[in-house]
Amino acid sequence: MTGTSLHTGGQVTLTLHPAPENFGIKFRRTDIEDKPFIPALVDKVLKVERATTLAEGGVKVQTVEHVLSALSAMGVDNAIVEMDANEPPIVDGSALPFVELIKAAGIEQQKAARSIYEIREPIFQETRDGTILHIVPDKTFRISCTNVGPNGRNTQFYSTEVTPELFEKEIAPARTFVYYEDVAPLAEKGLIKGGTLEAAVVIRGDTLLSKHPLRFNEEFARHKILDIIGDLSLTGKRLLGHVIAIRPGHGPNTELARSIVKQYNEMRSMVPAPVNIPLGDAVLDCEEVQKILPHRYPFLMVDRIVGFEGETKCTGIKCVSINEPYFQGHFPGHPIMPGVLQLEAMAQVASVLLLRMPGNEGKIGYFLSANAVKWRKPVRPGDVLVIETEVLKTKRNIGQAIGRCSVNGQIVSEAELMFSLIDR
């Protein structure tokens, strides 16, 4: 795609390239020697005046939110955004041209599981100028936005779940906008050199200045949602949560992204140091595990769920203590965790996956079979048992999974499991 940049007013060619698994989204400046990369991550944010600017060393890219919004909402996890200048083309002021570019290239499914972060605790942010940004737990990614103009003018509200289909139809076409009284100050700062009525809607009192009519009644609120999606993609993860925004802007948006990354890192710090687990969902502590599983003392064999990979893989931990009741008889003076309880631990972690699937809430899992069971090393008090499971197949009320337990990176047991799920 070739066009004019909004703020610099220069000509730029932008090309989207595929990238390998776990690469993320990175910008590449081909007009600079060595063609440096800039990762699309919140810790690379340089400034947020009327646009989001990223920098790595002395190299920067600005106004990245529209292309990031399109990539994120359309389900692209790994890509190189190559530009021969420091700013993407503004095109018509929306993200729709980037959506069309992505669809023209096509999207390839890769083998690595997508990393998703589910918001577990609400995050609240308010600023002195009246901006409010909250994100609360939700099983989808949803944004509800209220745009409020100067003196309360042009107040609009829109709420939507963010999916590729809804984004393309309801959000991507929404164009950028500016208030007439802000045009002169922005121009004095050397910004909006490429701004035209083809690429933006100018609001002057109750009058709209544009080459084209509004695309939606709530076009301004929808465009704010577009910006929020792009700015929150700088977390580097897919999100499950409900964003509630009033008077949002790039500054508050990126600060919310920082807070989400901070919460994620705090949740990850709950994982014991020796445990090497895949990146994934938030931690489920023992209270949350007990909301899913029916097991209780002394037969709850999962202390915490510490990672999910997509919808089919799950990792839990069990901290083995000398206070476990089975050590009184197995074996006194030489305590070893019974292998059958390791098998039970695998079954419980697999059940967390199965019982979280749509339609299985409130059910209970019963063992049908355990095959290819192997115990390789003894598990002793003080060990941290890492329990990894993968659901291979589900059909009606039957689930098949594989599981393995490890201690300090060494496999201690493994098995193939089959369950029947029934109503309690």
Which amino acids are annotated catalytic? 250, 330
The Cα 239–Cα 217 span in angstroms is: 28
Single out the residue of 402, 395, 397 nearest to residue 416, CA to CA: 402
CA 73 to chain centre: 11
| Other beta carbons within 10 Å of 61 | 24
Q: What's at 411, amino acid-wise? A: I
- Omega into 124 within 30° of 0, i.e. cis? no
- The phi and psi torsions of 402 (rounded to 5 degrees) equal -120, 150
Coil/strand/helix, residue 226: helix
Helix axes 96-105, 65-73, angle to 10 degrees: 50
Torsion region of 15: left, alpha or beta (phi above 0 gives left; psi -120 to 50 gives alpha): beta
Q: Which residue has the tokens 């039970």?
A: 344
Q: Which of 100, 75, 138 is nearest to 14 (CA)?
A: 100
The 3-state DSSP class for residue 19 equals coil
* Cα–Cα dist 141/241, whole Å: 5
Which amino acid, one-letter code, is at 329?
Answer: G
List of long-range contacts for 390-395, beta carbons under 8 Å, 24+ apart: 390/312, 390/313, 390/314, 391/312, 391/313, 391/350, 391/353, 391/354, 392/312, 394/354, 394/357
Q: Which two tokens stand for residue 159?
A: 């709420």
Is the four-CA dihedral 378, 380, 384, 388 of positive or negative sign?
A: positive
- Residue 190 one-letter amino acid: G
Cβ atoms of 160 and 145 within 8 Å: the answer is no
Residue with the two structure tokens 């949002």: 248
C-beta neighbour count of 410 within 10 angstroms: 9
The CA distances from residue 194 to 5, 88, 90, 200, in Å, are: 6, 11, 8, 10
Element (H, E) at 309: strand 304-309
